[in-house]
Amino acid sequence: MTSRAMPRQAEGEDAVAAPTTIFVCISCRRSDDSEIFPRPGATLARLTTQAADGTGIVVKRVRCLANCERGLSACVRRHDAWSYVFGGLDAIVDGAALVEGARLLARSSDGLMPWRGRPAALKRGLIARVPPLDFPEDIE
């Protein structure tokens, strides 16, 4: 399921400058979680979708982000910008943090999610930052 929260695009500070997507792993669980369903990752996806309603941020559910040791996991991506993978997320409270991070990335002029203003869960939970496909830099 996907949430395309476009019908009531926000204006002003809440507006999304560039299309941005949050991918949430719905199969995520912590190693000490039981096998019960729904998995905590599915709960995170549902609550992230609710938090994104009306923002222009798209939330997509994915089966695995291969970050099982540091789940719950999600990725924030914008075309022509860096993508960010986060782990150690809380199913109940971090959906709003993911949406705020996506808003920061969407409004970024340099394609980077700024550290300043980033929710704490996205500071401590950063797993990887992945360059865009057409990344021009080649450092020797």
**What is the DSSP code string of 38-67?**
S-HHHHHHHHHHHHHTTTS-EEEEES--S-
The one-letter amino acid at 79: H
Tens digit of pLDDT at every position of the chain (140 positions):
343 333 334 444 455 667 899 999 998 666 566 666 677 889 999 999 999 999 999 999 999 888 888 889 999 999 989 999 999 999 999 999 999 999 999 999 999 999 999 999 999 999 999 998 877 776 66
The whole-model pTM stands at 0.82
CATH of 2-130, one of 3.40.50.620, 3.40.50.300, 3.40.30.10, 3.40.50.970: 3.40.30.10
